[in-house]
Amino acid sequence: MKRILTGVKPTGTLTLGNYIGVLKNLKHLEKEGEMFIFIADLHALTLPIESEVLSKNSIDITCFYLAAGLDPTKSHIFLQSDVHEHAELAIILQNYLYMGELSRMTQFKDQSKKLKDNAIGLGIFTYPVLMASDILLYDVDTVPVGEDQVQHVELCRDVANRFNKRYGDTFIVPKAQVNEVGKRIMSLSDPTKKMSKSDPKGDIFLLDDEKTIRKKIMSAVTDLGSEIKYDVENKPGVSNLLTIYAALSDISIEEAEEHFKGKGYGDFKKEVSDVVISELIPFQERYKKALESKEYETALKEGAKEARKVASKTLERVKNKIGLINLND
């Protein structure tokens, strides 16, 4: 059976970008294969974060996954730090990736620009090494991601191929899977920038209430002119709202354009708000239920058990190939 892996960093409350880019489709993917879904808590340490915030976010994200309709008896939801094989494989794989290729990664360049020189942790630089380990441990075929993570998945493919070439077939070489509509939801206040949970300007958060969502969308930056047309270059604000509308209504961008033909920005924004609200309010109810019932605890325990079964086998295979001796069993 096909295997699928996906993860989110518990760096903040998830945004509509995370929802449209990944979360929304997980329920459908569950029908296509066995899912391994992890909360990338080790990755969250790459930027400064308070301990209480990290643990709270990790629980929240687990509940978001459950709210997205995943069945924890079928899909394995787990914490990255609960499966020590992730860190161990990263220590091995770091020797098969080069400083040059890591320093060319857009995320590293963007994030390190925001920090003062002496505060750039090594973890930001080696982020793609851990990410490659996350993926390769599970012998997965596809990795559903937003567009911004495609570069890291490509690097993961490179290291898998490099390793396989040297030691013989060891890793399955995975593919990134990006949804055409909604692969990059932009900030509502600056539609030339990606909506990101760790840079909360212009975000819609998955726990925003109805009034807040409406206010944020009604005051979203739009563009000159009055036509509702998809044109990222000249109308990035309108294009972003059209994308949100199309993705949540499960229609194409062209169909969304057609729907708004002849309407004004006011009506347009009102309809976008309605569709976001009708998607997020029931989602929030399911999230609250998962949190209050502590359903997340069992999900995480069981998920880690299942994940470890697969991850430990892969790690053993790697160790054997490279000559690390195991005399313990």
284 binds ligand ATP (CB under 6 A): no
Which residues are bridge partners to 232 per DSSP?
A: none
CB 317 to ligand ATP: min, Å: 27
185 binds ligand ATP (CB under 6 A): yes
**Cα–Cα distance, 268 to 244 (Å, whole number):** 12
148 binds ligand ATP (CB under 6 A): yes
CB 171 to ligand ATP: min, Å: 20
How many CA atoms lie within 13 Å of 72's alpha carbon, on the beta-carbon side?
22
**Cα–Cα distance, 193 to 184 (Å, whole number):** 9
Span interacting with ligand ATP, options 159-167, 182-190, 208-216, 231-239, rule CB under 6 A: 182-190
Span interacting with ligand ATP, options 84-92, 141-149, 216-224, 284-292, rule CB under 6 A: 141-149
Which residue in the shown chain puts its C-beta closest to ligand ATP? 21
45 binds ligand ATP (CB under 6 A): no
220 binds ligand ATP (CB under 6 A): no
128 binds ligand ATP (CB under 6 A): no
Closest to ligand ATP by CB, 22 vs 290, is 22
197 binds ligand ATP (CB under 6 A): yes
Span interacting with ligand ATP, options 18-26, 129-137, 226-234, 283-291, rule CB under 6 A: 18-26
Q: Are 191 and 240 within 8 A, CB to CB?
A: yes
216 binds ligand ATP (CB under 6 A): no
195 binds ligand ATP (CB under 6 A): yes
One residue of 5, 13, 17, 93 binding ligand ATP per CB under 6 A: 17
149 binds ligand ATP (CB under 6 A): yes
Residues 6+ apart with CB under 8 A from 265: 222, 226, 228, 238
194 binds ligand ATP (CB under 6 A): yes
Residue 327 burial by Cβ neighbours in a 10 Å radius (0-12, 13-18, 19+): exposed
Is 220 strand, coil or helix?
Answer: coil
One residue of 4, 5, 11, 303 binding ligand ATP per CB under 6 A: 11
One residue of 75, 81, 196, 243 binding ligand ATP per CB under 6 A: 196
Q: Which of 136, 159, 95 is nearest to 313 (CA)?
A: 136
User: How far is Cα of residue 142 from the mean position of the Cα atoms in its chain?
Assistant: 13
**Cα–Cα distance, 254 to 257 (Å, whole number):** 5
**Cα–Cα distance, 67 to 212 (Å, whole number):** 21
CB 60 to ligand ATP: min, Å: 13
Tell how strand 34-39 and strand 142-144 pair up: unpaired
**Cα–Cα distance, 50 to 228 (Å, whole number):** 42
Q: Which of 98, 97, 121, 108 is nearest to 42 (CA)?
A: 121
DSSP state of 175: E
Q: What is the total count of residues that contact ligand ATP (CB under 6 A)?
A: 22
Which residue, chain included where needed, has tokens 């990035």?
236
Closest to ligand ATP by CB, 8 vs 97, is 8
Span interacting with ligand ATP, options 27-35, 70-78, 183-191, 263-271, rule CB under 6 A: 183-191
**Quick one: tokens of 152?**
């890291």
List of residues contacting ligand ATP (CB under 6 A): 8-9, 11, 15, 17-18, 20-22, 145-146, 148-149, 183-185, 194-199
